[in-house]
């Protein structure tokens, strides 16, 4: 996916970055599930990190869908011509069923089971089901939520105002911050982390994440972009 780069704040860039984070995490989780199924179960050394990673994935995609359904779609419904809100919301509902399974059944099973092969199989099935809807879904959103269409539909002050409202909503729902924020950062390639940093409160910059929260996110490091592991 190509992310358009612009100077200054851009809602379309923020949405696209979130899509990149979720898409990468989905790929990584599917690949790890597949590998673990071949070897029989989740490796003990990376089990906690993987469960944290899947939980962060669940939180980020859930928050993103709530933000779109409750705020972004209603706001832009009449501003972007032919925005297919009903179809997009329907797809959120379908993805939501897989997310419910992952959060309520599979993760608790994986955490407790000594032999976790059947939970792992279930997780793999849910992730594959979700993946099939996810790709056409974001393709459709990105067709309508382009920088050009969003910029043309509102003025700059309103854009800044909306970005702030959406940022607050996301920060409130993306918890715990010491896991979810590093998860977002390190599922973006290094070149995009600076753009993402603009979304965060001043205190939470890359140095802060690397130092203050390191022990919290470290179990997930094998699932992040490889440069993160090379630098610690």
- Contacting residues toward Fe ion, per CB under 5 A: 68, 141
**Closest among 50, 42, 49 to 114, alpha carbons compared:** 42
When the beta carbons of 17 and 51 are compared against Fe ion, the nearer one is 17
Helix (H, G, I), strand (E, B) or coil at 104: helix
37: exposed, middle or buried (Cβ count in 10 Å: 0-12, 13-18, 19+) = middle
When the beta carbons of 86 and 202 are compared against Fe ion, the nearer one is 86
Min CB(91)–Fe ion separation in Å: 7
- Rounded CA separation 124/102 (Å): 10
Min CB(167)–Fe ion separation in Å: 16
Does the N-terminal peptide bond of residue 176 adopt cis geometry, omega within 30 degrees of 0? yes
Min CB(182)–Fe ion separation in Å: 21
Torsion sign across C-alpha atoms 49, 52, 57, 58 = positive
When the beta carbons of 68 and 199 are compared against Fe ion, the nearer one is 68
**What's the count of helices (H) and strands (E) in the chain, helices before strands?**
13, 0
**Radius of gyration for the alpha carbons in the chain, expressed in angstroms and rounded:** 18
When the beta carbons of 132 and 212 are compared against Fe ion, the nearer one is 132
- Rounded CA separation 22/18 (Å): 6
Min CB(190)–Fe ion separation in Å: 23
When the beta carbons of 66 and 216 are compared against Fe ion, the nearer one is 66
When the beta carbons of 4 and 227 are compared against Fe ion, the nearer one is 4
Min CB(141)–Fe ion separation in Å: 5
Min CB(120)–Fe ion separation in Å: 27
**Closest among 115, 122, 147 to 42, alpha carbons compared:** 115
């Amino acid at each position: 996916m190509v992310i358009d780069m612009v100077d200054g704040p851009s809602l379309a860039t923020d949405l696209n970055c979130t899509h990149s984070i979720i898409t990468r995490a989905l790929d990584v989780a599917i690949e790890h599930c597949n590998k673990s199924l071949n070897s029989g179960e989740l490796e003990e050394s990376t089990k906690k990190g993987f469960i944290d990673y899947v939980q962060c994935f669940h939180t980020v995609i859930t928050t993103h869908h709530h933000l779109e359904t409750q705020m972004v779609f209603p706001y832009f419904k009449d501003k972007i011509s032919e925005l297919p809100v009903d179809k997009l919301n329907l797809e959120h509902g379908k993805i939501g069923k897989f997310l419910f399974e992952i959060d309520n059944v599979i993760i608790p099973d994986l955490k407790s089971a000594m032999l976790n092969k059947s939970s792992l199989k279930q997780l793999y099935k849910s992730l594959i089901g979700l993946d099939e809807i996810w790709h056409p879904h974001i393709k459709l959103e990105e067709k309508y939520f382009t920088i050009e269409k969003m910029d043309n539909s509102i003025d700059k002050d309103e854009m800044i105002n909306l970005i702030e409202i959406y940022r607050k909503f996301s920060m409130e729902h993306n918890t715990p911050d010491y896991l979810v924020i590093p998860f977002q950062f390190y599922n973006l390639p290094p070149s995009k982390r600076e753009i993402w940093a603009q979304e965060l409160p001043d205190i939470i910059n890359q140095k802060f994440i690397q130092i203050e929260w390191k022990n919290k996110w470290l179990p997930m490091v094998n699932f992040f972009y490889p440069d993160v592991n090379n630098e610690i």
